Amino acid sequence: MPEMSVARNELEHERRYVAGLYQRLDELRAEKQRQLDQVRRTTSSGSHQNRSERDAFATMYEDRLAQLNAVDDRLVFGRLDLDSGEERYIGRIGLSTEDLQQLMVDWRAPEAGTFYQATAFERMGVRRRRHLILSRRDVVAVEDDVLDASMLTDADSLQGEGALLAALNSRRTGQMSDIVGTIQSEQDRIIRAPLPGVVVVQGGPGTGKTAVALHRAAYLLYTHRDRLKSAGVLLVGPTNAFMKYIERVLPSLGETGVVMASIGSLMPGIQTVQEPSEEVAALKGRLDMAGVVKQAVANRQRIPAENRKLNVEGSILTLTPRQVRRARDRARATGKPHNEARTTFVKIMLRELTEQLTEQLEESSGAGNTADRSYLTEDVRTSRDVRIALNLAWMPMTPEKLLRDLFAKPAQLEAAAPHLSDAERQLLHRTEDAPWTEADVPLLDEAAELLGELDASAGRNAAEKEQERRRDIANAERTLENVSATLEDAGVDGVLSAEALADHNVVTETRLTAAERASGDRTWAYGHVVVDEAQELSPMQWRLLMRKCPLKSFTIVGDIAQTSSIAGSHSWQQALEPFVGERWQLEELTVNYRTPAQIAEAAVRMANAAGLVVSAPKAVRDGRWDPVIDRVPDLEPALLAALPEELEAIADGLLAVIAPARIIDQVRAAVTSVYGSRVGQGAGGPGQDIVVTTPREVKGLEFDGVVVLEPAEMLKQEAVRVGDLYVAMTRPTQRLRLISTGEIPEGIED
């Protein structure tokens, strides 16, 4: 009874303190909302500086309000009892009273590091580490790690299942949860590693690689705020399903400014699909494709084979190959991208053609004729023949147009890639209306880098631009007449020119955050890039990412053993050496927190038997079930018969049915015919407790139970696909079942 009384008292104590933290959180929310409302009520009058300041304050209040709203669930998760007698609460953000008395320390702050790093052997001044387990805003349990031996007999030290095991045994929801309250020492060391350089985090299934990557992004933004706030952090994942799965983690950690993108969405304005052919994906991912794109751009700067006659207002001019070559070489010498260098090319050609026309007219009218010839430049510029000739020689080009032509027109591809075999060029051939794929994105980005911006007004001459400017000023003058009359009636003298008003009407982006601006800007240079499932990236995709961060500040997480793409890497050295040489540091996670020991061991045995060397991180727990193996004559009836048993075993959990891409549609149709709207894709959605998906789509995801169909089909050594089956087998947190109409891969059965 005394022990129960102590536990009850401690729980009530923590509930009162946590209630105070939430009260302070609500006060700060209300304060920021009032400040934001006040700024929004401010009119747009005043100087440009005043308007910019107003927008900056609005953005600041909006960001802070978003942060305060995102951390509501499980705001606080720990308490440190220190040798000094201080009780230090650890939570998602820092909180203080109005008079700056600290209520809670941000988990990323240096003084919070001991919550994750202190042990009984190295206490670091910590007597007791207390885990507060919350459900929404309510403290439902308290667990203590006693580090000071003298406290072991204290009646107020509370024990239980343990925060880590409780988190591991909890049901999956289809959304990744943060691990901020249960970060382990080896994970914390990587999360808090210095910013500069390339850190590679190698870890087997279930070691928390993705969680480490996300928490590191939040930590770096907190610790290096001044450096990263304006440049931003980019987090890249393998698929859209994966990005949806992790999207809530960073806001819950107090960060809303990270740009999150799948590798296929890194070209603004381009929608992509998965590359249907792995051979094509591997070919497009080769580093020599950068040279193919470069040559394709150079081939659009053409020299005519012979002289060309041009009609300019009745006068016939001659355009020679020598003239075009000279202008082309001078334009290339500027070092500017194709579309920008074209301006130099056009200026040179127009000047030479104008001189030619002037000479003709002077010869025909006599040397003594001093008539004004300044109009001739405009005659040459607007001549249809001249415009056609210059465009044929140096056409302005978009990346999309360049690649569509390259892959749809065999002659252009042969000219740009003579080193490719006929079979390889045939693999790249496609129709002009084919959708863009993920493998195209690095090529589009390469083309965009070489082409430069395409000026939307390039087709308009100076006179047209000036005419548009005059229309803007005329509209502004009419507006000012009305405004001036109103000001005079009010007795106010307003001084504003029509030109200034016309300029003011240009839309500005002052209220966009760095992350919002970066997400729509292909050329944005980030301060740090985090890459998850990095083993899948092709050399061209690495080239794209390296361009995104000129400082080469990267956190790279993955598992070489899980590589399933034939375009992916077989070693980190192979992936990184072309871009950073030896300037990278390897860290390894050694503990499997997700996968029960029986399942993890079966997956390792299978991989080893297939000739794949994998790290075998130690599982922290045994599961209730060994892997279940079904050999069946007919797949669909066996699957439908097994599903009720699997759903019952993981009651209220999330079940994944993982099948080879060849049969995924028919499997999904069969399961949906029985379970209807409960069936989803990716990580599932609201009301969906079954997902039917492929090995590629489950990278980085986790489920309570997994049913793997036709495991032998996922194991294709000739295509380096051991990773597919290895990935599929290591997704469950509780239970694994394999159903096969053929052989069971060697090693799975002990």
590-634 pLDDT tens trace? 888 888 899 999 998 998 888 877 777 788 788 889 999 999 999
Lowest mean pLDDT among 84-93, 361-370, 623-632, 669-678: 361-370
What average pLDDT does range 518-544 have in this prediction? 91
More confident residue, 442 or 503: 442
Do the first three CATH levels of 191-266+524-589 and 597-740 match, i.e. the same topology? yes
Highest mean pLDDT among 189-193, 373-377, 499-503, 546-550: 546-550
547-551 long-range contacts, CB within 8 A, separation 24+? 547/445, 547/449, 548/234, 548/266, 548/524, 549/234, 549/525, 550/525, 551/196, 551/527
pLDDT at 167: 53
Say which residues have a Cβ less than 8 Å from residue 152's Cβ, sequence separation at least 6: 146
Q: How far apart are CA 131 and CA 434, in angstroms?
A: 54
More confident residue, 45 or 114: 114
Q: How far is CA 605 from CA 592, 598, 616, 674, 694, in A?
A: 16, 11, 10, 35, 22
What is the identity of the amino acid at 651?
A: A
Tokens representing 556 are 């790279």
pLDDT at 47: 60
Known binding-site residue numbers for ATP: 203-210
Placement of tokens 């000001």 in the chain: 487
More confident residue, 5 or 611: 611
Q: Half-sphere exposure of residue 539, counting CA atoms within 13 Å on the CB side? A: 15
pLDDT tens, position by position, 685-718: 778 899 999 988 888 788 999 999 999 998 864 4
pLDDT at 481: 54
pLDDT tens, position by position, 630-660: 999 999 999 999 999 999 999 878 999 999 9
pLDDT at 503: 47
Strands 76-82 and 126-135: antiparallel
What average pLDDT does range 286-303 have in this prediction? 96
End-to-end CA distance of the chain: 48
12-15 long-range contacts, CB within 8 A, separation 24+? 14/79, 14/130, 14/132, 14/139, 14/142, 15/138, 15/139
pLDDT at 102: 93
Asked if residue 106 has pLDDT above 80, the reply is yes
Tokens representing 392 are 């044929």
Known binding-site residue numbers: 203-210
pTM of the model as a whole: 0.76
Residue 455 near residue 346 (C-beta atoms within 8 A): no
Lowest mean pLDDT among 260-269, 281-290, 391-400: 260-269
Which pLDDT band, with edges at 50, 70 and 90, does 529 fall under?
very high
pLDDT at 501: 44
pLDDT at 487: 43
pLDDT at 483: 45
Tokens representing 471 are 């229309």
Q: Name the 3-class secondary structure at 31.
A: helix
Task: Fold for 597-740, please state it.
Answer: Rossmann fold (3.40.50)
pLDDT at 4: 59
pLDDT at 492: 41
pLDDT at 720: 45
pLDDT tens, position by position, 129-171: 888 888 889 998 888 888 887 776 554 544 444 545 555 555 5
Residue 303 near residue 324 (C-beta atoms within 8 A): yes
What average pLDDT does range 7-33 have in this prediction? 92
Residue 580 near residue 230 (C-beta atoms within 8 A): no
Sheet of 628-631, strand order: 628-631, 732-740, 703-709, 655-658, 690-693, 679-680
Q: How far apart are CA 220 and CA 423, in angstroms?
A: 47
Tokens representing 535 are 């083993």
More confident residue, 525 or 470: 525
Buried b (16+ CB within 10 A) or exposed e, 385-401: bbeebbeebbebbebbb
Please name which of 170, 38, 29, 24 lies closest in space to residue 89, comparing C-alpha atoms. 24
Residue 511 near residue 59 (C-beta atoms within 8 A): yes
Sequence spans of domains, the chain: 1-159, 191-266+524-589, 278-451, 460-504, 597-740
What is the Cα 42 distance to its own chain's centre? 36
Residue 18 near residue 104 (C-beta atoms within 8 A): no
Rg (CA), the chain: 32
Which pLDDT band, with edges at 50, 70 and 90, does 738 fall under?
very high
Q: How far apart are CA 553 and CA 539, in angstroms?
A: 18
Superfamily of domain 191-266+524-589: P-loop containing nucleotide triphosphate hydrolases (3.40.50.300)
More confident residue, 3 or 680: 680
pLDDT at 2: 54
Asked if residue 435 has pLDDT above 90, the reply is yes
